[in-house]
Each structure stands twice: as C-alpha cells, then as structure tokens.
Amino acid sequence: MYKYDAIDRQLIAQRVEQFRDQVRRWKAGELSDDEFRPLRLQNGLYVQRHAPMFRIAVPYAMLNTAQLRKLAHVARQYDRGYGHFTTRHNLQLNWPKIEDVPDILAELADVEMHAIQTSGNCLRNITTDQFAGVAADEVIDPRPLAEILRQWTTFHPEFAFLPRKFKIAISGTREDRAVTWFHDIGLHLQQQGGETGFRVLVGGGLGRTPIRGQVVREFLPWQHILTYCEAILRVYNRAGRRDNAYKARIKILVQALGVEEFSKQVEAEWAHLKDGPATLTQAEFDRVAAHFTAPAYNAAAADDAGFRQHLADNTAFARWVERCTHPHRVAGYRAVTLSLKQHGVAPGDITSEQMETVADLADHFSFGELRISHEQNIILADVQEAHLYTLWLTAKGAGLATPNVGLLTSIICCPGGDFCDLANAKSIPIANAIQARFDDLDYLFDIGEIDLNISGCMNACGHHHVGHIGVLGVDKNDAEFYQVTLGGRQGNEARLGKVIGPSFAADEMPDVVDKIIKVYIDNRHEDERFLDTFDRIGIDPFKNRVYEGRAHGKAKAAEKEAA
Amino acid sequence: MAQLIKNQAIALDPWTSLALADGETPETVALPVGQVIFPFAVWQSRRAEILARGTPVGVLLEPADPIEDLAADVDQLALIAVNFPKFVDGRGYSIASLLRQRYGYSGELRAVGDVLHDQLFFMQRVGFDAFALKDGKDAEYALKTAFAPFSETYQVSTSQPQPFFRRRA
C-alpha cells in the first residue's frame, strides 16, 4: 500500500499542530463555537449525544497492521476500548474528549493516519472496492488513482467550503461494489480502445433526497481526472444552493439544471483547464502505482489437499468458507471477510482486542495488510487456502467468524439514536432484535443472500435505500417508528427500494421481517434469491402479508394509548 | 473596523467604500471623491463616469455577482474586493481563482466580510493578497501563523501553478 514520503508525513504532522492551536484558541474564547465548528468537523470531530464523536479516515479502505494496532491503542487509551467502522471507510470513536483529540491525531500521524476532511462541507474520504487489486472481476486497480485523488482533495484551497459535503467513489471492477451510483461523483475505471479512463457519474446520493447518479461523460482518459474534477467542483461551488442545507448537495443542482445543461457547463469550464499543469503524468502514476504491486504469492498454493480435507470434514468451517471467503485472481488464494456482524453486537463495532487479533492474523496470513468494507466488515485480501482453517479457528475464538456475510443478519447499520444527534430513532437494537429472531444458522442459510440495511434517520448512513430490505427510523410525535422498503440494491443495477406502507413500532420489527421472509420462502422458485422473487412477484404479496388483519403504525399506537 | 493585512504586514487602508443607503440606486447615487470601492452594480451602470474621474478604481463583488461580466475590465481596476458574507460561503475562492488565473487580473485582490484567521491560508493560495481581517481578531497572531500552516501544497492554485507531483523530487 501507499507509503508516505517526507512531505506527505510533514503535512499531516503540521495538520496536528494546526488543530492543536485551533482547539487552544477555541478554549481561550478566541474562536467562537460557530467559527470552530467547521474546523473541528474537517478534523472529524462532532459534538454528539453523550460525548464528541471522532471519525478517523481509512482512505480507500486500506490499512496495514501497524495502523490497526495504533487504532486499537487509541481506542483503549482515549476511549472505551472499541471503535465503529462506518459505511464510508472510516473508524469512529464514540467517547473521546475534545481536549485529547490533538494528541490522538499526533498518535495517528505516527502511522500515516489522520482525520482530514472526514466531515464538514468539503471533499471527503475517497472510497472504493474492498477487493481492489485482488478481485477476480477487476479490470483496473483503482487504488493508485484513489491515492492521487486523496492528495488532490487534501487541503484543496478552492473547495474547503462547499455548499455541502462531497463524496467521491471509484470502482475498477465489472460488478460495482463501491455504491458509485449513489455518490456525488462516481468513477468507473474502464478500458476503451486500449486506453484507460473513467466513466464519470455525477449527482448521486442517498440521504433525504435519494437520487441515482447520471453519466456526465462516458469516457475520460485517466490523465484528465484532476482537471475534470476541478471543473465539476467549480461549477458546483459557484452554483450549488447555499440557502437551504437540505437542497445543497450537487444532486439537487444536477436535477435543477438537467444533466445535459450541467454537463455542458462542466465541459465549458473544463475546456479552460484541460491539458493544464494539473494533467496527470505517467511518471506520477507510476510512482504511486509502484506502492500497490502484488505481494510475493506462493506459486504452489493451488489445490491444497489439507484445505479440501477440512472442507469435507467440518461443516461449520465449510459454511464459513462459503459465506466469508471470496474468489481471488491468484489460484490457491482467497480474500477473507471477518464479519463484524456477530449477533447481539452493534454492527461494525470492534474492540481493541479484536483489532489486535486481526492485526496478528493479517501479519501471519495476509502480508500485513487489510481492508474495511462499506458493509462494515474487515477483509484480509490475500490468504492462502492452506491457511484458512487455522485462521478460522482464531477468528472464531475472537467472535470474528460469524458465517453470515451476505445473509440476513449481516446487517449494515448506522450508530443511530444510541449515539448520533441526527438520528430520529435507534437502529442498533433493531438490528440486534432481528439477529436474535434469525439466530438459527440452518434457517439463515436456507433464506440465502439478502441485504438488510438500517438507518436511524433519513440521512441514510446505513444505506437503507439500497438494502433488499431497508429500514428507516422515523420520528412520529416523539415516538420511534420504522419505515420498511423492499427491492433496493447496490451494484451495476443499483436502485432505490420501494416503501411497503405505514411504519411500524420497534417491537414489531422482528415480526415484520419474519413475514417478509416467509412470503419469499412461500413463493420462491428453486435457486431464486430474495431479490429475484421480489422482482418476479412485486411488492403486493409482501404488503398483504405484513399488514394482514392488524393495526399498525399510528393506528397501533392509538390502540395502545386507548388500552 | 476591519484590520487590513497586506504585503505580510498590517496596513493602513487608503480606500473608502461606497454603500447604497435606503432609497439610493446605482444609477443615481452620488459618487464620493477619492479612491473608492464601488459595488459591482454601481460600476456596471456608471462605468464611463467612474473611469473619467481619473482616480484608481475599486469594485466590490458579492458571491453571486456575474464575474464573467468583469473579465474585459480587469485592467482598468486597481482593486477588486470579494465579500465573504459568512466565512463558510466558499464562492469567493472560485471567484478569486477565476480573476487571477483566467482573467489575468493583477491588481489588489482583497477578501472582505467574515474574514477569519483559519481561512487566510486558503485565501492566499487562490490569489488574495489583501485581507480585511474581521474586527476583534488578532492580526499580529494571524500574520505570524495563519499564512503558512503547511509547508507544501498538493494542488494547482494561483500561488502555486505547478502541482506538487510535477515538483516532487
């Protein structure tokens, strides 16, 4: 992975001292709360329900084991011994002290980590596919260009105070795993006539107004990516709405202008920047790409007899291999997902001890590197099949081998009302209640592949819109209710789920999910996944079953009140 | 009263600003004598009259003003002020970039309004060379620390036309 040079290191060290001085001036009253807010947000620091929340960047999902051990240490030393992985390649701490944050940043800088622009109305962390560089369906490794974009976004002088936050995702695979259709800019790396470049999508986003991105350029040669992004950002910075925070994302501007007019403005702006000094050079690409070379794979890894034997002998191991390992471009290797979706634990949460176990596993079995996914799991990308059994035993002992990746209980879930100030409703207890209801592994495997995503408010950090089953926490007269959507999906055919009907009380949610699953089981054809059945039979059978003969939502609340 | 920082020093301001009072219009307002910063609308409607005075001319841009309309006139202006109504309104950064990099403006480019310590670094990089630091802020401390919190920059900007990757050893 990318190693900082002296200048990269110096910049994040200077960032620590800059923020230390900002905290000092804020405490001394030289900076008002309003003046300090964007400064702390651009260092990942929110003021939340119980304590500040601090968001650390994991740029394009890559970590080495020294970094993970540092995160374990920071969580133990400055927090309560655990952290939370988010859907955008960040680690959040829920209980740090503001006064400690400069020291935390200094510790992170020691291992080339930071919290730069992890929040605020600015260019955010670049995200990509967690299997970048090893995926069997990869066309081009997105990581060198993701790192080049990371540097371009870092302290960009013109775009530090945008109308609203701005998120870029980049994907280099046939099947999109980076939710690129729902980012402010989505980039698809591809080859065209022997040339490498991007399809450029703009104006996607989830949140309050979920909109699928639109293509503004079918093919942009890679050398032009920085100038083209500058053009997009300049159009947005000047014309994006600033009168209403809910209408300030670039997606609203693209909708208002229409994608043709928006593209025209971008192209007109780009005409001035094209071929200028910000045009990327082959030398720079090569310099960065040299950091992302393949590790020294064992040429004799294929067809390991011991691995085959364990698969045949041990059902639990075989199940884990089926759910939690993924095809690798090198024969005899797999990418391994360590599930952070153990039933009863907050999805995406990881303790300091678990981080250290993962670091040990990565050192032993995966060349000392790992990734985190937007599904809030950890990936060891380069594991030899011969080592899977030993790895599994250790991971299992640490609560990291729940064989539920891609299944109903591997829930994407935001921190929700337990921690977050924005939330309308709790999300973690809903996830845990559903996990408890579907605790039977045989049943879980029988149900098969299904994405259940939960957000505690319409800001959609839990990506509920693109869950096959989506759950959204809503506030109704100060009570917490949950709206359910069906049929959403990520990937190449990404689309938004449809609302099934009136919302439900928290204690109804396991039953509601149970009924939805039963409709699928009753109607499925052989080999049909949940989504296939849904696409074939539509939403009505689900609606009918879920609302059959019962009061719900407000009506139920009224009944309860009457009783 | 804002404190003016110019040429890396606290400076006296030889300019006065014209602001339209209630009932005054750009077409009819009396033009004060001396070095005056005119609102863009006054400049637009009284351009010939203002130039005929023979004194250095300044223009104040608001974030939404159509700066493209000023492109042909930048050589006539000794000062362009860009207003930041709130420091979180970042449109002025793009305005400055365009004035310097596209329209070739070389006179004084002054940030006015909600101009604070922690934005001076960015403002300088996009091309501002004068800063009307908000009243009550420590101008000496700003001069000492606000303009160079970082010793290097990655991007192309007015103050550094070559990206770091073209200068990397």
Burial (CB < 10 A; 0-12, 13-18, 19+), residue A379, is: buried
Report how many Cβ contacts below 8 Å link chain A to chain B: 103
User: In B, which residues are within 8 Å of A148 by CB distance?
Assistant: 165
Q: Do B150 and A15 touch (CB under 8 A)?
A: yes
User: In A, which residues are within 8 Å of B156 by CB distance?
Assistant: 276-278
Q: Are both A186 and A266 inside the same structural domain?
A: yes
HEC states along A305-347? HHHHHHHHHCHHHHHHHHHHEEEECCCCEEEEEECCCCCCCCC
pLDDT for residue A48: 73
Q: Do B94 and A21 touch (CB under 8 A)?
A: no
- With an 8 Å Cβ cutoff, is B8 touching chain A? no
- With an 8 Å Cβ cutoff, is B164 touching chain A? yes
How close B144 comes to chain A (CA, Å)? Answer: 13
Q: Are both A150 and A92 inside the same structural domain?
A: no
Q: Do A277 and B166 touch (CB under 8 A)?
A: yes
CATH number, residue A76: 3.90.480.20
Q: Are both A156 and A270 inside the same structural domain?
A: yes
In degrees, to the nearest 5, what angle opens at C-alpha A191 toward C-alphas A188 and A194? 160
pTM: 0.95
Secondary structure class of A265 (helix, strand, coil): helix
User: In B, which residues are within 8 Å of A116 by CB distance?
Assistant: none
Q: Are both A160 and A100 inside the same structural domain?
A: no
Helix axes A305-313, A388-397, angle to 10 degrees: 50
**End position of a domain, from candidates A256, A290, A324:** A290
Q: Do B149 and A121 touch (CB under 8 A)?
A: no
Distance CA A62, CA A1 (A): 7
Domains located in chain B, CATH noted: 4-168 (3.20.20)
Q: Are both A92 and A208 inside the same structural domain?
A: no
User: In B, which residues are within 8 Å of A275 by CB distance?
Assistant: none
Facing B118 at nearest CB: one of A22, A276, A287 = A22
pLDDT by 10s per residue, chain A, length 563: 999 999 999 999 999 999 999 999 999 999 999 999 999 999 999 987 777 899 999 999 999 999 999 999 999 999 999 999 999 999 999 989 999 999 999 999 999 999 999 999 999 999 999 999 999 889 999 999 999 999 999 999 999 999 999 999 999 999 999 999 999 999 999 999 999 999 999 999 999 999 999 999 999 999 999 999 999 999 999 999 999 999 999 999 999 999 999 999 999 999 999 999 999 999 999 999 999 999 999 999 999 999 999 999 999 999 999 999 999 999 999 999 999 999 999 999 999 999 999 999 999 999 999 999 999 999 999 999 999 999 999 999 999 999 999 999 999 999 999 888 889 999 999 999 999 999 999 999 999 999 999 999 999 999 999 999 999 999 988 899 999 999 999 999 999 999 999 999 999 999 999 999 999 999 999 999 999 999 999 999 999 999 998 765 555 666 666 65
Facing B88 at nearest CB: one of A38, A155, A157 = A38
Element (H, E) at A396: helix A388-397
- Domain assignment present for residue A130? The answer is no
Facing A284 at nearest CB: one of B90, B123, B165 = B165
- Domain assignment present for residue A422? The answer is yes
**End position of a domain, from candidates A252, A273, A290:** A290
Residue A51 lies in domain? 6-110
Distance CA A474, CA A483 (A): 7
- Domain assignment present for residue A158? The answer is yes
Residue A526: partners with Cβ closer than 8 Å, 6 or more residues away: none
Q: Are both A71 and A181 inside the same structural domain?
A: no
Facing B97 at nearest CB: one of A17, A158, A280 = A158
Q: Are both A159 and A210 inside the same structural domain?
A: yes
Nearest CA in chain B to A285: B165
Q: Are both A104 and A149 inside the same structural domain?
A: no
Q: Do A35 and B102 touch (CB under 8 A)?
A: no
User: Mean pLDDT, to the nearest integer, of B134-160?
Assistant: 96
Q: Is the pLDDT of residue B50 over 70?
A: yes
Surface of A (276-305) touching B: CB under 8 A: 276-278, 280-281, 284, 287
- Domain assignment present for residue A255? The answer is yes
Q: Which of A158, A275, A291 to mutate to test the interface with B (most CBs of B within 10 A)?
A: A158
Surface of A (228-247) touching B: CB under 8 A: 234, 237-238, 242
Tally the domains of chain A. 3
**End position of a domain, from candidates A264, A290, A316:** A290
ipTM field = 0.97
CATH number, residue A479: 3.30.413.10
B45 backbone dihedrals φ, ψ, rounded to 5°:
-90, -15
- Domain assignment present for residue A321? The answer is no
Quickly list DSSP for B11-64.
E----EE--PPTT--TTTPPPPSSSEEEEHHHHHHHHHHHHHT-S-EEEEEPTT
- With an 8 Å Cβ cutoff, is B163 touching chain A? yes
Q: Are both A172 and A253 inside the same structural domain?
A: yes
- Domain assignment present for residue A513? The answer is yes
Q: Are both A81 and A149 inside the same structural domain?
A: no
Whole-angstrom CA distances from B58 to A57, A351, B38, B93, B106 are 44, 60, 6, 19, 13
Q: Are both A61 and A149 inside the same structural domain?
A: no
Facing B154 at nearest CB: one of A15, A154, A277 = A154
Q: Are both A545 and A451 inside the same structural domain?
A: yes
